Amino acid sequence: MKTKINILSPGRFHVLDLARELDKNGFDVKFYSFVPTKRAMRFGLPKHCSASIFVLMLPFLALCRIFNRSQQIKRLRINVQDYITAWIMRKSDVVIAMSGDFVYAPRRAKKKGALVIYERGSKHILEQKRVMESIPSNKGVKPIPDVNVKRELESYVIADYIAIASKHVYESFMIHNYPKEKLFVNPYGVELSDFYPDMTRQRNYDVIMIGGWSYRKGCDLIIEAINRTGYSFLHVGGLVDMEFPKMPNFTHHGIVDQKELINYYHQAKVFVLPSREEGLAMVQAQAVACNLPVVGSKDSGAEDLKRFVEQPDNIIIVEEFTAEAVVHALHEAMEQYDKLGLTIYAGTAKEQLTWSSYGKRYTDFLKKILKHENTLNRPDGRVE
C-alpha cells in the first residue's frame, strides 16, 4: 500500500513542485490549497493530486483582496484555511505543511498518527524577526506580529521534522538550540526546461536582480554599488518599500509570469541578490541554470548552490552587508563572465538542481524516517 501524504499550503509555492515530484516517486499525494485545480495542473500537478479548497476559501480571499493591508483579515484567512483543511483532509501517514499557516490541522493529524513535517522557507522566526526589525522603514512597527511569532514557535514544537533549504537557515535554528536531528536541509529545484543558457542573445544589461525591490533584499546596497561601478542594471519584480532610481543606467520592469523570466535573464551578464534575509531564493538557481554568474549574500542561500555546479567560482558570496562588498563581488562576477565564453559553468552537475533531484532527496528522507518510525512502533524493534 502506498504511503499517504497530505501537503498543506495556502498557495502554490515550492510545495506544489514537491507534491508533483512525490507523486512521481510513488507516494499517494494530496495537495490541499486554495490554488484552483486547473491552475495547479498548469504547473504539472496531476489532477488526482489536487484537493483544492478554492471555492470554500473564495469569500475570505475576496476580503483579503479588498482589505489588502489588514493584518486581521489576513489572520482570519489563515485561521479559516487551517480549520477547514483540518476537517476535510483525509487520514494520512505524513502531513507536510507550510509553517506559519497551519497549526490546528497538523496537530489534529498528529493525534491520528501522522508524522508532521513543516516547510520553513526562512530563518528561525526569532532570527527573521531580528533582521526584519533592523530595517529602517520598519522602525517603530512590528513587521512580524507577535501572533505570527507565537504561531510559528508553536509549529516548531508540533513538528516531528522541519524541512529547510539552506545552511544559513540551519544555523539560525542552531542559535536557538533546536534539535538538529529534526532538521532536513534540501535546496529547492529549478525547471531546466524553463531556464537554460542562450549564448546567442545580446546582453543589454550588465547586472540583473529579480524579486521584490526592498531593503530586506539588499536593494539599497545594489543602488550604491551600481552607482559606484557605472554598470547598467535591470530589475524585474514589484516595488516593495524602496523607490526605484530614476537614472539612465537603472531599468525597472514589473512582475512577469515565471515562464517569461528567461527572456530577462538572457539580457544580462550577472545576477545579484545581497539579501539580508531569505531561505534559499529560487531566482538564484534560475540564474545558475541560465549560466549567469551569481552574486549572493551569505543569507541568500547562494552558498548552498555551489555544490550543484562544476565551477563554483562563478557563485560569489557577499559576506558583509556593505556597498563595498557588493562592488567587489560584482567586479569578480564580471571577470568570471568574461572568462566563461561558451562554457556552461554548472556542467552536468546542474542535474542536481532540478525539481526531480529535489524530489528524490525528499523521497530518500521520507523512506528513512518512515523506516525509523516503523522500527520504533514494533515491539521487537524490527522493520516489517
Give the H/E segment covering residue 86.
helix 71-88
Dump pLDDT digits (tens) for 197-227: 998 888 999 999 999 999 999 999 999 999 9
What DSSP character marks residue 239? Answer: B
Looking at the structure, do residues 180 and 246 belong to the same domain, yes or no?
A: no
* 138 shares its domain with 231: no
Considering the domain architecture, whether residues 367 and 333 belong to the same structural domain is answered as no
Q: Model's pTM, two decimal places?
A: 0.91
181 occurs within a structural domain: yes
Three-state SS for 162? Answer: strand
pLDDT at 383 over 80: no
d(CA 181, CA 68): 39
Domain count, the chain: 2
| 27 and 176 inside one domain | yes
Looking at residue 380, its pLDDT comes to: 47
Write b or e for each residue in 191-201: b if 16 or more Cβ atoms lie within 10 A of its Cβ, otherwise e. bbeebbbeeee
First-to-final CA distance of the chain? 13
The whole domain housing 253 covers 205-349
The enclosing domain of 69 has a CATH number of 3.40.50.2000
Q: Does 180 lie in the same domain as 94?
A: yes
Structural domain includes residue 195 = no
What is the pLDDT confidence band of residue 174, given thresholds at 50, 70 and 90? very high
The answer to whether residue 384 is domain-embedded is: no
- My answer on whether 182 and 292 are in the same domain is no
Tell me if 178 is assigned to some domain.
yes
Spell out the alpha helix ranges (H) of 25-164.
37-42, 54-66, 71-88, 104-111, 125-133, 146-158
Distances (CA, A) of 238 to 180, 213, 219, 224, 280: 36, 6, 12, 20, 19
Identify whether residues 147 and 226 lie together within a single domain.
no
Across residues 288-308, what is the average pLDDT? 95
3-class SS of residue 225: helix
